[in-house]
Copies of this chain bind each other. A is one copy, B any other.
């Protein structure tokens, strides 16, 4: 059989990884896929820059559109990132009936509904395994492996930089800003770290995971987002005393009123596997009604792990060349006409348990007052701990674990608590998920 010919947009870290992987494992991949797959044409803005891969035998253009338009390219791999140019290129490829593989989480999360619509109309495949959790085959696992399940919830560590920072805070008692600076030096975090530490990147990935798990269109605008910048090492330590680890999770979970999509720091019981996922690693826990809890763990970024996901998509696309579109795995796991119109809940209606840290004047009756206010809002307390004051301080930290409660009730309770004369400043609030059923 003749080799499948690829056009590659982007020869940076991941693009180089794809070229290297296809070359190094040419035999291995060919033995599995049943045919050879080769990059014939690649686009880069910097054709003369030193790069991590050999481009021998690959035509190189500075104009990515030339790669898309090249009659020889059968599949287009988009690794440029960003929204505008990438979208234009992908849509042009689709117009020409070319299949597409992309790692562009932002574009899929924000414009995927329209792009998939065009791909469907034109009968082409669009793979995006590399867009979520790097090399972990999480899209495949949820979309195909769990096809028999009603997914009840999923929760994932889907940003390696944020997880690295929280791991360092835990193991070495360091503060957020200190670790962030180191992550930037090591190249784990961008100069503008907000994509990672504010949860934007995780929200892109959660948007995609929520769609394929729950059969809803992509709704990036409905994801609640909270970063890790306000987590202190004190909170990390208090959480540990209570048997928890703090992780930055993307969570999608149904309650009586609907589906909540959210990214926020979360206390997770230390006995849960997710709590032990350290450093830059990613992991996603998915709970299906038949299968129960499952977890998928691996490298969430990096040239070769991402290339691994791109190659897996490529082989799938090649295998489906001759398959009628209605027999292919649907882009968002569910047949497009079968997507529900459910809209994610506003955060006020989402339900979670809570960790609260208050600073209270060290005088009798404060605990009782706080407990009474929580009770009045219908919030049950699971644990309440009053710490010793720091030497010379007149305030004491009070840590409270609550049972599950609607967000708007907790908002009201916190307002009332913060208004108490004996309470100093605002409550530190971190959500808790036991990851049980």
By a beta-carbon cutoff of 8 Å, the part of chain A in contact with chain B is 1, 17, 21-22, 24-25, 28-34, 129, 135-137, 140-141, 143-150, 215, 271, 273, 276-277, 283, 288-299, 304-305, 307-312, 314-316, 318-324, 326-330, 333-335, 338
Q: Is the CB of B34 within 8 A of A146?
A: no
Q: Which residues from B are CB-within-8-Å of A292? A: 135, 298-299, 304-305
Do A289 and B137 form a contact, CB below 8 Å, given A147-B32, A296-B294, A308-B148? no
Look across to chain B and name the residue whose beta carbon is closest to the beta carbon of A135: B291
**Shortest CB distance A10–B (Å):** 18
**Shortest CB distance A138–B (Å):** 9
The listed residue (B129, B146, B276) touching A137 by CB distance below 8 A is B146
**Shortest CB distance A272–B (Å):** 9
Bound Cα distance A314, B144 (Å): 10
Look across to chain B and name the residue whose beta carbon is closest to the beta carbon of A324: B322
**Shortest CB distance A149–B (Å):** 6
Of A32, A315, A319, most B-chain CB atoms within 10 Å: A32
Q: Is the CB of A33 within 8 A of B276?
A: no
Bound Cα distance A320, B292 (Å): 27
**Shortest CB distance A379–B (Å):** 32
The listed residue (B149, B304, B319, B338) touching A31 by CB distance below 8 A is B338
Look across to chain B and name the residue whose beta carbon is closest to the beta carbon of A329: B319
Q: Which residues from B are CB-within-8-Å of A326? A: 1, 34
Q: Which residues from B are CB-within-8-Å of A283? A: 295
Q: Is the CB of B148 within 8 A of A141?
A: no
**Shortest CB distance A79–B (Å):** 15
